[in-house]
């Protein structure tokens, strides 16, 4: 089968891969995005915080993503049923938009810019020579050569493995998470409420559109079998102990289907090698409670697009620019990951949680945004 050549090959059509493809496509680069699935990813994050919204606004996408999304500006935190603090977001708050909808908008913009997408394109081999990715061979035999290769292929990144970049994953196994999509009730429509308990549970309830809500429940793994296999009444009994201002949601939790979610933090030793770089969840993963993964990923994609365009096809310059301008993002990510780790270890302890909470990392705002109740 013939070999295709392009300026930039991006592996993975999630938010990071699609946004980078859009920025490069707009600047005249020939981009091919390789995605193992039949389409863009179907599930993922819900919250886009102000830093991410600002990145999209810089590229004229604010209206597009905001038009049918929901805006929220406050999260109220509870411990053992008592309200303990509110986090208020400036500048029109944050956007709630299911991941697939958000990525779909960026994907559609990419297609209009002439970016090529190869779906159902698993990778068979990544040929690396002299520290550079030379060629990608897909499972259907197709081959791709690119001046720059981006691994935006999630936490199990094949590009990262081919580059032999070390990673360290830390599963949050003290807390098992379950999620359900349920009909919206009045209390959930009113405010995003996040409840913790000293028994190590949490529950987060928020709307995802005008009719539906998402509910995350976190519980000690030893409780999961008893609660979710013995049926929902046991779940409601536990929730009633610490979920105080959302009791109208209890009725809709009863028939819900609860999906388990595994979450881990992940750090990697390097963000680039030769002509290849990692982006998004291929490079870092933090606790979802920070709600910042997408914002950082969008900012990183913006930086990568600048670096790739500034290098203009010069391999040495590309490496130098990646070292000088992209690699330092690892420190920002490290802080976010450390923060998520710190939060995750304090859910049972009100004082420790409040001490660990850093509003500026949730919203890039200042401490005045945090109001004690
Ligand atoms: C439970 C949870 C909740 C979260 N909530 C939030 C939130 O509210 N706000 C927020 O900002 N962040 C949140 N995040 C983080 C956010 O989801 C990530 O930062 C973001 O999705 C990163 O995008 P991505 O493009 O790197 O990865 P992904 O969306 O994971 O995309 C990777 C893509 O690569 C494809 N792929 C994988 N391997 C290959 C291969 N070998 N070949 C081809 N394609 C491949 C996959 O199919 C997928 O489409 C959350 C994360 C989790 C786990």
pLDDT digits (tens, 9 = 90+) for 325-366: 999 999 999 999 999 999 888 988 999 999 999 888 877 633
Q: What is the extent of the structural domain holding 215?
A: 176-261
Q: What is the CA(280)–ligand 1 centre distance, in A?
A: 7
Question: 75: which strand partners?
Answer: 87, 192
Closest-CA residue, ligand 1 atom 33, reads: 12
Task: Supply the pLDDT for residue 361.
Answer: 81
Index of the ligand 1 atom closest to the CA of residue 49: 11
Are residues 232 and 122 part of one domain?
A: no
342 lines ligand 1 (CB under 6 A): no
153 lines ligand 1 (CB under 6 A): yes
From 215, 243, 261, give the residue that closes a domain: 261
Would residue 373 count as lying in a domain? no
Are residues 327 and 252 part of one domain?
A: no
Mutate-to-test residue for ligand 1 from 33, 103, 153, highest number of ligand atoms within 8 A of CB: 153
Are residues 209 and 326 part of one domain?
A: no
294 lines ligand 1 (CB under 6 A): yes
Phi, psi of 335 (to 5 degrees): -60, -40
300 lines ligand 1 (CB under 6 A): no
Phi, psi of 92 (to 5 degrees): 80, 10
**What angle (nearest 5°) sits at the alpha carbon of residue 258, between those of residues 264 and 169?**
5
From 234, 261, 288, give the residue that closes a domain: 261
Phi, psi of 186 (to 5 degrees): -60, -45
Q: What is the CA(242)–ligand 1 centre distance, in A?
A: 31
148 lines ligand 1 (CB under 6 A): no
Mutate-to-test residue for ligand 1 from 44, 95, 121, highest number of ligand atoms within 8 A of CB: 44
Would residue 118 count as lying in a domain? yes
| Structure token pair of residue 238 | 């536990």
37 lines ligand 1 (CB under 6 A): yes
CA–centroid distance for 190 within its chain: 25
CA–centroid distance for 167 within its chain: 18
Index of the ligand 1 atom closest to the CA of residue 157: 38
Overall number of domains in the chain: 2
Are residues 275 and 162 part of one domain?
A: yes
152 lines ligand 1 (CB under 6 A): yes
Would residue 93 count as lying in a domain? no
359 lines ligand 1 (CB under 6 A): no
Are residues 287 and 234 part of one domain?
A: no
Task: Supply the pLDDT for residue 364.
Answer: 60
Q: What's 20's domain CATH number? A: 3.50.50.60
Q: What is the CA(152)–ligand 1 centre distance, in A?
A: 9
Would residue 284 count as lying in a domain? yes
Alpha carbon separation from 184 to 42, 187, 191, 231, 263 (Å, rounded): 21, 9, 12, 22, 26
Would residue 88 count as lying in a domain? no
Would residue 7 count as lying in a domain? yes
Q: Over its length of 373 residues, how does the chain's per-residue pLDDT go in tens digits? A: 789 999 999 999 999 999 999 999 999 999 999 999 999 998 889 999 999 999 999 999 999 998 888 999 999 999 999 999 999 988 789 999 999 999 999 999 999 999 999 999 999 999 999 889 999 999 989 999 999 999 999 999 999 999 999 999 998 877 778 899 999 999 999 999 999 999 989 999 999 999 999 999 998 888 887 787 766 778 899 999 999 999 999 989 877 888 888 889 999 999 999 999 999 999 999 998 889 999 999 999 999 999 999 999 999 999 999 999 999 999 999 999 999 999 888 988 999 999 999 888 877 633 334 344 4
Are residues 244 and 290 part of one domain?
A: no
Are residues 350 and 283 part of one domain?
A: yes
Task: Supply the pLDDT for residue 233.
Answer: 77
Are residues 347 and 325 part of one domain?
A: yes
Q: What is the CA(343)–ligand 1 centre distance, in A?
A: 21
45 lines ligand 1 (CB under 6 A): yes
Would residue 87 count as lying in a domain? no
Would residue 188 count as lying in a domain? yes
Task: Supply the pLDDT for residue 365.
Answer: 37
Task: Supply the pLDDT for residue 254.
Answer: 78
Closest-CA residue, ligand 1 atom 30, reads: 154
Task: Supply the pLDDT for residue 369.
Answer: 40
Residues 6+ away with beta carbon under 8 Å from 75:
86, 87, 191, 192, 193, 194
From 217, 244, 261, give the residue that closes a domain: 261
Three-state DSSP string of the chain: CCEEEEEEEEECCCHHHHHHHHHHHHCCCCEEEECCCCCCCCCCCCEECHHHHHHHHHCCCHHHHHCCCEEECEEEEEECCEEEEEEECCCCCEEECCHHHHHHHHHHHHHHCCCEEECCCCEEEEEEECCEEEEEEECCCCEEEEEEEEECCCCCCHHHHHCCCCEEEEECCCCEEEEEEEECCHHHHHCEEEEECCCCCEEEEEECCCCEEEEEEEECHHHHHHHHHCCHHHHHHHHHCCCCCCHHHHHHHCCCCCEEECCEEEEECCCEECCEEECHHHCCECCHHHCCHHHHHHHHHHHHHHHHHHHCCCHHHHHHHHHHHHCCHHHHHHHHHHHHHHHHCCCCCHHHHHHHCCHHHHHCCCHHHEEEC
Nearest to 72 by CA among 160, 180, 204, 198: 204
């Amino acid at each position: 089968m013939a070999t295709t050549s392009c300026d930039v090959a991006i592996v993975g059509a999630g938010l990071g891969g699609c946004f980078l493809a859009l920025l490069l496509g707009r600047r005249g680069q020939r981009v091919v995005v390789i995605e193992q699935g039949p389409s863009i990813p179907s599930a993922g994050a819900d919250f886009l915080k102000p830093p991410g919204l600002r990145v999209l606004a810089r590229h004229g996408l604010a209206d597009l993503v905001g038009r049918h999304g929901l805006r929220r500006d406050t999260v109220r935190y509870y411990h053992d049923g008592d309200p303990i603090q509110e986090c208020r977001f400036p500048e029109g708050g944050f956007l709630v938009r299911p991941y697939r909808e958000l990525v779909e908008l960026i994907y559609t913009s990419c297609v209009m810019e002439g970016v090529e997408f190869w779906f159902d394109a698993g990778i068979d081999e990544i040929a690396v020579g002299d520290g550079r990715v030379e060629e990608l061979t897909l499972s259907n035999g197709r081959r791709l050569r690119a001046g720059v290769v981006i691994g935006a292929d999630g936490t199990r990144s094949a590009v990262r493995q081919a580059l032999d970049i070390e990673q360290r994953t830390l599963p949050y196994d003290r807390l098992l998470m379950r999620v359900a999509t349920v009909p919206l009730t009045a209390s959930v429509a009113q405010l995003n409420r996040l409840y913790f308990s000293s028994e190590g549970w949490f529950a987060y309830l928020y709307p995802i559109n005008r009719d539906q809500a998402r509910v995350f429940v976190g519980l000690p793994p030893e409780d999961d079998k008893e609660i979710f296999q013995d049926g929902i009444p046991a779940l409601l009994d536990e929730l009633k102990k610490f979920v105080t201002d959302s009791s109208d949601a209890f009725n809709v939790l009863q028939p819900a289907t609860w999906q388990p979610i595994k979450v881990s933090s992940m750090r990697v030793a390097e963000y680039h090698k030769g002509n290849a770089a990692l982006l998004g969840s291929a490079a870092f993963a933090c606790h979802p409670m920070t709600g910042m993964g997408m914002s950082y990923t969008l900012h990183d994609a913006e930086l990568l697009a600048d670096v790739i365009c500034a290098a203009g096809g010069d391999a040495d310059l590309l490496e130098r620019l990646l070292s000088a301008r992209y690699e330092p993002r690892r420190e920002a990510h490290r802080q976010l990951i450390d923060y998520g780790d710190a939060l995750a270890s304090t859910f049972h302890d009100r004082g420790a949680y409040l001490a660990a909470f850093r509003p500026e990392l949730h919203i890039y705002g200042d401490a005045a945004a945090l109001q004690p109740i």
